[in-house]
């Protein structure tokens, strides 16, 4: 208080001087109003220099800790005392908020805290792990503006189309345009209208091999709002080997055989002529004796496409060999000719007929794709009843399943009720035909087991932050050798999954980083900077905190609500307004009246 005395004395001298000048003025009209204006002006100056504080009583829970996280409404500081573990929130809140550098340590030293109330996007994953036994009251902020979810293929074949899909939250007053760019050219774009949260799907063809980084830009008019990296790798295309078993030739087989030949797929096409006689075409492959289906012969293929009628006509030995081959990893796609399954492979699937709706066409929709393909003339007379153990790969726009698959040992077994995809070719829509069969073959075919099965967490690793690589070995207890940028990691075995090993590291540089597992060829993953995909990471944290709050422990019994006195500060804008009005009146009265 003593350091304020000189300013108070100076303000008192100024007030006395101004009052003296007003009293001695020749024109004494409106003297009272002028004296009042002088007093108010000087008083407002004093209050601007020394804010007025007052105390109010509030009810508080002594066992609760209130935290503000990124995205929180800072106006909450006016009504209560808050803490934060985020340095950026501390800078925004200033002296009105208290900082907790280590939440776990704070809770250890404050054993009476059994409830945490968090506003904003929530706490980080590591902070949530230290809240066992504490009730978590999460009050989420609205979803951030920008790309709040996004995914694409990390590794794709040379002929595969890059598909970037996600969700954009546009909270602005104007529509925004999302543009996928690659190698200096615009590949695809989509517009999100104002005040909308919509899904988007962008596609682009990558013809070059190796590591690539495309860009996702968000425009509002000519201004760039956001710009994100889309890293991926393009690997040489190794075509799976196909065996087609046909009970009779039709247009579907004819067009499929020609398309496979044109796209360099190794294909053996066998058509039944009579009970034990077949016609065989060998395309892009050495000669194979397809008359006798045995385990050794089937081991040369990655996918078998057959109609149900042909499978029902196979000998018991051929059926046994096919079963063994599928359980060992071979893919089997069955074309259904009738609602009643004939072969032992198709019987686990449930088919049902529908009343004739009079529809002249149907539109297939691939799983994971937003946009539907062009319509196909005609309409299936029966569909697949979805089951919990099956994955629906293709549906129509009404949601009825057209193609479904299920695991069969190490392989996959799928059935399809689509009989006329060749109409895309006849209609000149070759792109849909290529997209459909590429997706189906890629999903059902035998998987390449030569590559390591690894993942990096988080999905968007950031330089300098903890990152984990998980490796799945083919043999339990076989310790893999993990090396990141020539730095050897010490993997830890999963407690319940002995074939899963985890290595932890902290990336030192952005961009492509090298990962080597045992003696396999080097793999690569991309490391981002802190500002990349900011909205997406905020949305992920928000959802993670929402899920955690639902599983939070119940509040322990405590002493109940208590009262406390808190100090609040009167807004200085009021005194600034009073000073302006008083000074304005003094000037106006002198000049105008």
Q: What is the pLDDT of residue 157?
A: 80
CATH number of the domain enclosing 169: 2.60.40.10
283 and 408 inside one domain: yes
Question: Does 526 fall in a domain?
Answer: no
Which has more confidence, 527 or 40? 527
Question: Does 532 fall in a domain?
Answer: no
Question: Does 141 fall in a domain?
Answer: no
335 and 420 inside one domain: yes
Q: What is the pLDDT of residue 85?
A: 92
Instruction: With a cut of 60, say whether residue 296 has pLDDT above it.
Output: yes
| Residues 312 and 343: beta-carbon distance below 8 Å | yes
399 and 260 inside one domain: yes
Q: What is the pLDDT of residue 61?
A: 60
425 and 321 inside one domain: yes
| Residues 148 and 169: beta-carbon distance below 8 Å | yes
**Domain end: 236, 268, 286, which one?**
236
424 and 466 inside one domain: no
Question: Does 232 fall in a domain?
Answer: yes
Which contiguous run of DSSP H or E holds residue 200?
Answer: strand 196-205
Instruction: Supply the range of the domain harboring residue 157.
Output: 148-236
pLDDT single digits (tens) 521-578: 889 999 999 999 999 999 999 999 999 988 875 544 444 555 556 566 777 888 888 8
Residue of 504, 375, 509 lying closest to 432 (CA atoms): 375
Beta-carbon count within 10 A of 293 CB: 21
122 and 191 inside one domain: no
193 and 341 inside one domain: no
Is the pTM of the predicted complex or chain greater than 0.85?
Answer: no
In the sheet where 511-517 sits, what is the strand order?
Answer: 487-488, 482-484, 511-517, 523-527
Mean of the pLDDT values across residues 395-424?
91
Lowest mean pLDDT among 155-159, 229-233, 349-353, 534-538: 155-159
182 alpha carbon, distance to own chain's centre:
21
Beta-carbon count within 10 A of 540 CB: 19
225 and 250 inside one domain: no
Question: Does 527 fall in a domain?
Answer: no
How many domains does the chain contain in total?
5
Query: Around 266, how many Cα atoms within 13 Å sit in the side-chain half-sphere?
Result: 13
Q: What is the pLDDT of residue 388?
A: 85
299 and 263 inside one domain: yes
Q: What is the pLDDT of residue 559?
A: 44
429 and 467 inside one domain: no
What are the CA-CA distances from residue 436 to residues 395, 446, 498 (Å)? 12, 18, 38
**Domain end: 218, 236, 254, which one?**
236
Question: Does 184 fall in a domain?
Answer: yes
398 and 459 inside one domain: no
| Residues 548 and 69: beta-carbon distance below 8 Å | no
Mean residue pLDDT of the chain comes to: 86
Mean of the pLDDT values across residues 383-403?
90
Distant-in-sequence, close-in-space partners of 554: CB < 8 Å, separation ≥ 6? 135
Question: Does 415 fall in a domain?
Answer: yes
Question: Does 528 fall in a domain?
Answer: no
356 and 430 inside one domain: yes
Q: What is the pLDDT of residue 579?
A: 86
Which has more confidence, 454 or 5? 454
Q: What is the pLDDT of residue 62?
A: 66
pLDDT single digits (tens) 468-486: 999 887 666 678 889 999 8
């Amino acid at each position: 208080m003593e350091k304020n005395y000189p300013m108070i004395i100076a303000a008192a001298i100024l007030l006395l001087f101004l009052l003296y000048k007003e009293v001695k003025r020749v024109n004494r009209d409106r003297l009272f109003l002028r004296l009042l204006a002088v007093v108010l002006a000087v008083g407002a100056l004093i209050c601007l220099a020394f804010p007025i504080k007052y105390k109010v009583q509030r009810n508080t829970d002594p066992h609760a800790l209130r935290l503000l996280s990124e995205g929180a409404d800072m106006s909450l500081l006016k009504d209560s005392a808050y803490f934060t573990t985020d340095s950026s929130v501390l800078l925004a809140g200033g002296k009105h908020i208290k900082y907790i550098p280590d939440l776990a340590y704070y809770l250890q030293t404050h054993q009476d805290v059994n409830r945490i109330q968090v506003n904003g996007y929530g706490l980080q994953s590591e902070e949530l792990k230290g809240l066992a036994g504490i009730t978590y009251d999460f009050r989420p902020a609205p979803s951030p503006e920008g790309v709040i979810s996004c995914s694409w293929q990390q590794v794709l074949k040379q002929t595969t189309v890059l598909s970037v899909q996600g969700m954009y939250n546009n909270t602005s007053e104007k529509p925004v345009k999302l543009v996928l760019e690659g190698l200096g050219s615009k590949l695809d774009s989509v517009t999100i209208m104002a005040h909308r949260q919509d899904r988007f799907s962008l596609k682009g063809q990558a013809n070059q091999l190796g590591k690539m980084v495309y860009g996702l830009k968000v425009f509002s008019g000519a201004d760039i709002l956001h710009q994100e990296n889309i890293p991926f790798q393009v690997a040489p295309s190794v075509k799976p080997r196909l065996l087609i078993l046909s009970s009779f030739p039709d247009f579907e087989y004819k067009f499929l055989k020609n398309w496979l030949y044109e796209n360099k797929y190794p294909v053996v096409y066998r058509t039944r002529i009579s009970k034990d006689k077949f016609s065989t075409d060998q395309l892009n492959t050495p000669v194979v004796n397809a008359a006798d289906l045995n385990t050794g012969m089937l081991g040369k293929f990655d996918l078998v496409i057959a109609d149900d009628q042909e499978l029902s006509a196979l000998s018991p030995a051929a059926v046994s060999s096919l079963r063994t081959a599928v359980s060992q990893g071979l893919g089997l796609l069955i074309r259904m000719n009738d609602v009643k399954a004939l072969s032992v492979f198709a019987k686990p699937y449930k088919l049902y007929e529908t009343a004739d709706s009079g529809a002249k066409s149907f539109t297939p929709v691939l799983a994971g794709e937003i946009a539907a393909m062009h319509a196909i003339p005609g309409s299936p007379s029966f569909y697949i009843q979805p089951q919990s153990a099956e994955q629906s790969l293709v549906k129509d726009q009404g949601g009825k399943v057209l193609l479904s698959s299920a695991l069969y040992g190490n392989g996959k077994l799928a059935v399809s009720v689509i009989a006329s995809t060749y109409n895309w070719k006849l209609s000149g829509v070759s792109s849909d035909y290529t997209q459909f069969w590429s997706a189906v073959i890629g999903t059902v075919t035998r998987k390449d087991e030569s590559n390591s099965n690894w993942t990096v967490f988080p999905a968007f690793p950031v330089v300098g932050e903890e990152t984990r690589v998980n490796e799945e070995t083919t043999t339990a207890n076989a310790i893999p050798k993990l090396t990141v940028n020539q730095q050897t990691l010490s993997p830890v075995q999963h407690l319940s999954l002995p074939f899963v090993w985890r290595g932890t590291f902290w990336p030192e540089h952005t961009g492509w980083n090298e990962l080597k597992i045992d003696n396999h060829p080097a793999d690569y993953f991309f490391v981002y900077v802190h500002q990349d995909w900011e909205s997406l990471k905020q949305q992920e944290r928000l959802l993670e905190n929402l899920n955690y709050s639902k599983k939070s422990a119940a509040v322990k019994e405590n002493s109940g609500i208590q009262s406390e006195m808190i100090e609040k500060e009167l807004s200085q804008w009021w005194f600034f307004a009073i000073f302006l009005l008083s000074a304005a009146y003094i000037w106006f009265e002198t000049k105008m009246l």
